[in-house]
Chains A and B, each alone.
Chain A
Amino acid sequence: MPAVSKGDGMRGLAVFISDIRNKSKEAEIKRINKELANIRSKFKGDKALDGYSKKKYVCKLLFIFLLGHDIDFGHMEAVNLLSSNKYTEKQIGYLFISVLVNSNSELIRLINNAIKNDLSSRNPTFMCLALHCIANVGSREMAEAFASEIPRILVADTMDSVKQSAALCLLRLYKTSPDLVLMGEWTSRVVHLLNDQHMFQGVVTAAISLITCLSQKNPDEFKTCVSLAVSRLSRIVSSASTDLQDYTYYFVPAPWLSCKLLRLLQCYPPPEDGAVKGRLVECLETILNKAQEPPKSKKVQHSNAKNAILFEAISLIIHYDEPNLLVRACNQLGQFLQHRETNLRYLALESMCTLASSEFSHEAVKTHIETVINALKTERDVSVRQRAADLLYAMCDRSNAKQIVAEMLSYLETADYSIREEMVLKVAILAEKYAVDYSWYVDTILNLIRIAGDYVSEEVWYRVIQIVINRDDVQGYAAKTVFEALQAPACHENMVKVGGYILGEFGNLIAGDPRSPLVQFNLLHSKFHLCSVPTRALLLSAYIKFINLFPETKVTIQEVLRCDSQIRNSDVELQQRAVEYLKLSSIASTDVLATVLEEMPPFPERESSILAKLKKKKGPGAVSVTELDDSKREGGELNGGGERAADTAAMAASNASTPSPSADLLGIRSSAPMGAAPAAAGSLLVDVFSEAGPAAPAAAVNNDGFLFVCKNNGVLFENQLLQIGIKSEYRQNLRMYLFYGNKTSVQFASFSTTVSCPGELTPQLNVQSKPVEPLVEGGAQIQQVLNIECLSDFSDAPLLNIKFYGGALQNLTLKLPVTINKFFQPTEMTSQDFFQRWKQLSLLGLGSALLDNVDPNPENYVCAGVIQTKGQQVGCLLRLEPNAQAQMYRLTLRCSKESVSKRLCELLSQQF
């Protein structure tokens, strides 16, 4: 037991604590259970406990709770302590309530009563205790009970310590329940707290925190605080280090207040009033100048406090974006880059990242490139190296891209595992963004795969393929380079993927000796058996492409396809590919083969999905401004361009007329959105016809919901965190079940979903949904039911927005696959009826029940149905006429409403 035991030490508590210490876990639990039983009996006993015992036992319970054990009683005794007029008893009572918040409403009523009494007690220490309790609990109930009372205390003629507590307490309530804290009439009096010349610094400090928070929401109401803040700041900055007495911290005058003032100013644009602005600039310059002065103390506290103000001032300078000050700030940070304090180097690197994104200081930041590269190479601390890598990324532009990318690549060889993936993404982005000649780009990405293949995500290798496909000036070079890269005896599987794809497309460009077609094929095939299923599937596609590119390889490749390990492979996908490709190569004519296996059309130009991935990795707020510029160009929909390629794939395949091509492909395509999942099956399906590959990741999401036009169940979305399954059924209204699965092992917090009907969809659809549980445990799945009523025909899809906290704040918006045909009710009719109605509907149309023996031509399919909307019923007839010889279909739709037939036609044509 320590000698010191101030105040009225509770001996029993001290004995208990020393009893518990140094006990084994088991003995500890035993001792605790004994104590709990003892306390329980004391609380239940007939003898009324005196205040001291009650306090002691409550304190013991608290201790047990803080050790990590559950406590489910004692709340009432703690509440009793609140009404004691002994300070220590009250204090322990409040501490217990604050730590073990309980949502029992009866209890809350009692607690609130006690708080109310203390607030009106005029005893400043009691008032402070009560305010602390409100702030510590900070619940909505507290806000409801006290939000209107506290501003009164804040501006009343009370002791400073009470005012301070009231200000921060109000701030805390405002953060939980901004709607309940109505400043209105108090606003000017709160701002006035900054004004008072003689005011205790502590009150000003607390008041500024409150004002900063309030003014973020209502900048106009608090505008007058700007000039007050500037004059306060100016007084502090120009004061001698001893002027502020106890508010001087290690020879730095009022560092907390200074930083808070500088923070408050960051909520506003530069002051318009010339005099105020001049005074502020003077302050900022003084702060920058002071950084050059010799320190007044050798203590680290002195330099920390001084530099804390400096960094806050630099933040304000960055906020104002003023050229002169920016350059000065940058020079100051440049000095810190080589400071012996690791903390300062870290912060300088971090702060420079922001400076790099301003046009005024970008060049000044670039002058430090050598120092930063050196930091990347020599810093002992991984978090500092990480910041150096971030800064290199931020300062990169056309002039230094080659140098920076080369340095990052060489760093990757030894980089810490924790930051490799992010580094890879950064290199990939820079290489693409600043590629003047694409051969450099290709080299860089292949180097990436070679050096850090395991960390090269799908996005990265999809992207290199996309770019090679789109740029014919680099295709030959790319083919040659991958060919060389594949020569290595052990090369990464990602290299095999890229190699397979590129040689399959462009192997012909380099097919001269010594890279004859057979050599190319043998090279690829030598890697085949070492690869995973998705890669093998991709290689099989490359082989069939080879047959088209180089007819002379046909026999060899057919032999490979025919061997048991392929054609009877236990993996269904591989087997199917082997069978289909073998068949395709033997029955299709050269012309047909050439059409089916034609070189990929260029991908639509779009921004890289790698950026999105990087942003996701870094979490919100960590993306520098340079990246933000990119995201603007990127627009909302990442990867949106993937659709075309995927559609082409589908078209090509249905042309190939295997027995049921369209059914197969639909299945395949509907799985495509799973591409972002690391699961083998996901990525495998993505590149069935290789083309869909690059389009895959998450954002391919639900190409307007076409995937679900003819399906009611499936996976709507999947990434590494979340899978959303969907099931829908139609019974008068459309009932849609959404299944949100947490794929991680950690809980998702604040999980919420909203369904909205954008634009003209609002009057067309009525969507009702129940809110979901805000917590999704790791590995768990929750369900949400949507009830959707169709008011009139529509063509847009409702949007589903999902927000949750899983590692970082996640926010995604998906189109729900609600299409007009979901509201079909099948209709039976005879041939005569059908054609009678067919003729009546002179417009385009569509139907839904498949009708046998209706059409005179048995090859044709006809369907009929009625779309049920609240406003009207729209009859639809459909006729599908296949022409087997021409391998074409004609699809005709007739409906009683033109807009419906138009939309149905769009939806259905996507299905073939």
Chain B
Amino acid sequence: LTHLMRFLLLFSRQGKLRLQKWFTPLTDREKKKVIRDMMMMVLARPPRTCNFLQWRDLKIVYKRYASLYFCTGLEDQDNELLTLEVLHRYVELLDKYFGNVCELDIIFNFEKAYFILDEFLMGGEILETSRMAVAGSLEEADTLQEVKDQTVYYSVPQY
């Protein structure tokens, strides 16, 4: 049985990791290896080359948006072009949320970047392709967090 998308990494041109999402269980060591290899391969690519690479038995699909690289590893049977659009859709969602998103937004609001991704992908599969629907649920979440809950917060008993 296969996982189509294995991981999604966001890293900067300087090789700083900004976001990592793993859709299959890997040890920390393996993760570090993947991150290192991806940065090495992708950052070394000259401009205007194609967005696909073969790495071990995975297809690597990556795309650069301004200073950030979005890089994902796919099972062999997954669709590269559509994956490029998954990346693009994610960028659009970030953009819609932050308004003209830049790397700094993702650094300072990393948790939001994760939440947005979660609204969009689950287990490496696309959860919601409608930008409206995703944006809608994000807005709802923000509304939720802005409502001041006046009830006293009870600390959960210590175990």
Interface residues, chain A, with chain B CB atoms under 8 Å away? 1-2, 4-9, 14, 17-18, 21, 48-51, 59, 62-63, 66, 68, 76, 79-80, 83-88, 91-92, 95, 99, 106, 110, 125, 128, 131-132, 135-136, 138-139, 161, 164-165, 168-169, 171-172, 174-176, 178, 201-202, 205-206, 209, 213, 216-217, 246-247, 249, 254-257, 259, 263, 301, 304-305, 307-308, 311-312, 315, 342-343, 345-347, 380-381, 383-384, 386, 619-622, 746-747, 749, 775, 807-809
Residues of B close to A311: CB separation below 8 A: 79, 81
On whether the beta carbons of A88 and B144 are closer than 8 Å, the reply is yes
Q: Which of A88, A246, A259 contacts B82 (CB 8 A)?
A: A259
On whether the beta carbons of A88 and B145 are closer than 8 Å, the reply is yes
A86 to B19, CA, bound (A): 25
CB-CB nearest in chain B for A619: B57
On whether the beta carbons of B111 and A622 are closer than 8 Å, the reply is no
On whether the beta carbons of A807 and B56 are closer than 8 Å, the reply is yes
Shortest CB–CB separation between residue A336 and chain B, in angstroms?
Answer: 11
Given contacts A202-B130, A342-B49, A749-B27, contact A87 B1 (CB under 8 A): no
On whether the beta carbons of B111 and A383 are closer than 8 Å, the reply is no
Residue among A7, A48, A66, A255 having the largest count of chain B Cβ atoms under 10 Å: A7
Residues of A close to B110: CB separation below 8 A: 62-63, 66
27 A-B residue pairs with Cβ-Cβ distance under 8 Å, sorted by A, are A1-B108, A4-B105, A7-B145, A8-B145, A8-B146, A17-B108, A62-B110, A88-B141, A135-B122, A138-B25, A169-B122, A175-B1, A202-B133, A205-B128, A217-B1, A249-B129, A256-B126, A256-B129, A257-B129, A304-B85, A308-B79, A342-B49, A343-B51, A346-B50, A347-B52, A380-B46, A619-B56
Residues of A close to B66: CB separation below 8 A: none
Shortest CB–CB separation between residue B128 and chain A, in angstroms?
Answer: 5
B81-108 interface (Cβ within 8 A of A) = 81-82, 84-85, 88-89, 97-99, 102, 104-105, 107-108
B56-71, CB under 8 A of A: which get 1 and which 0?
A: 1100000000000000
Residues of B close to A305: CB separation below 8 A: 81-82, 85
On whether the beta carbons of A343 and B81 are closer than 8 Å, the reply is yes
Q: How large is the interface on B (under 10, 10 to 19, 20 to 34, 35 or more residues)?
A: 35 or more
Residues of A close to B133: CB separation below 8 A: 161, 202, 246
Shortest CB–CB separation between residue B43 and chain A, in angstroms?
Answer: 15
A254 to B85, CA, bound (A): 12
Q: Which of A4, A308, A384 contacts B81 (CB 8 A)?
A: A308
Shortest CB–CB separation between residue A34 and chain B, in angstroms?
Answer: 20
On whether the beta carbons of A7 and B57 are closer than 8 Å, the reply is no
On whether the beta carbons of B3 and A175 are closer than 8 Å, the reply is yes
Residues of B close to A76: CB separation below 8 A: 158-159
Q: Which of B33, B85, B129, B149 contacts A308 (CB 8 A)?
A: B85
Residues of B close to A205: CB separation below 8 A: 126, 128-129
B112-159 interface (Cβ within 8 A of A) = 112, 114-115, 118, 122-123, 125-133, 137, 140-142, 144-146, 149, 151, 153, 155-156, 158-159
Residues of B close to A51: CB separation below 8 A: 153
Residue among B79, B131, B145, B159 having the largest count of chain A Cβ atoms under 10 Å: B79
A48 to B104, CA, bound (A): 33
Enumerate the 10 nearest inter-chain pairs by beta-carbon distance, A residue then B residue, closest first: A172-B123, A308-B82, A308-B81, A88-B145, A87-B144, A342-B50, A168-B122, A381-B49, A619-B57, A246-B130
Residues of B close to A85: CB separation below 8 A: 149, 151
Residues of A close to B125: CB separation below 8 A: 168, 171, 206, 209
Q: Which of A8, A62, A91, A347 contacts B115 (CB 8 A)?
A: A91
A176 to B99, CA, bound (A): 38
A143 to B2, CA, bound (A): 17
On whether the beta carbons of B109 and A5 are closer than 8 Å, the reply is yes
Shortest CB–CB separation between residue A505 and chain B, in angstroms?
Answer: 41
On whether the beta carbons of A174 and B145 are closer than 8 Å, the reply is no
On whether the beta carbons of A255 and B111 are closer than 8 Å, the reply is no
Q: Which of B1, B102, B144 contacts A174 (CB 8 A)?
A: B1
B3-55 interface (Cβ within 8 A of A) = 3, 17, 19-20, 25, 27, 29-30, 33, 46, 48-54
On whether the beta carbons of A5 and B142 are closer than 8 Å, the reply is no
Interface residues, chain B, with chain A CB atoms under 8 Å away? 1-3, 17, 19-20, 25, 27, 29-30, 33, 46, 48-54, 56-57, 76-77, 79-82, 84-85, 88-89, 97-99, 102, 104-105, 107-112, 114-115, 118, 122-123, 125-133, 137, 140-142, 144-146, 149, 151, 153, 155-156, 158-159
Chain A at the B interface: SS class: helix
Residues of A close to B98: CB separation below 8 A: 4, 6
On whether the beta carbons of A383 and B53 are closer than 8 Å, the reply is yes
CB-CB nearest in chain A for B100: A4
Q: Which of A2, A66, A620 contacts B105 (CB 8 A)?
A: A2
Shortest CB–CB separation between residue B116 and chain A, in angstroms?
Answer: 11
Q: Which of A4, A165, A247, A347 contacts B122 (CB 8 A)?
A: A165
Given contacts A255-B82, A305-B81, A346-B50, contact A7 B142 (CB under 8 A): yes
A696 to B137, CA, bound (A): 63
A84 to B152, CA, bound (A): 11
On whether the beta carbons of B49 and A17 are closer than 8 Å, the reply is no
Residues of A close to B123: CB separation below 8 A: 135-136, 138, 168-169, 171-172, 175
On whether the beta carbons of B50 and A384 are closer than 8 Å, the reply is yes
A622 to B56, CA, bound (A): 10
A895 to B150, CA, bound (A): 93
A6 to B19, CA, bound (A): 19
Additional pairs, 9, CB under 8 Å, beyond known A8-B145, A165-B127: A85-B151, A136-B123, A169-B123, A176-B25, A202-B128, A342-B48, A347-B52, A620-B57, A749-B30
On whether the beta carbons of A255 and B85 are closer than 8 Å, the reply is yes
Shortest CB–CB separation between residue B1 and chain A, in angstroms?
Answer: 5
Shortest CB–CB separation between residue B56 and chain A, in angstroms?
Answer: 6
On whether the beta carbons of A622 and B57 are closer than 8 Å, the reply is yes
A421 to B87, CA, bound (A): 34
Residues of A close to B158: CB separation below 8 A: 76
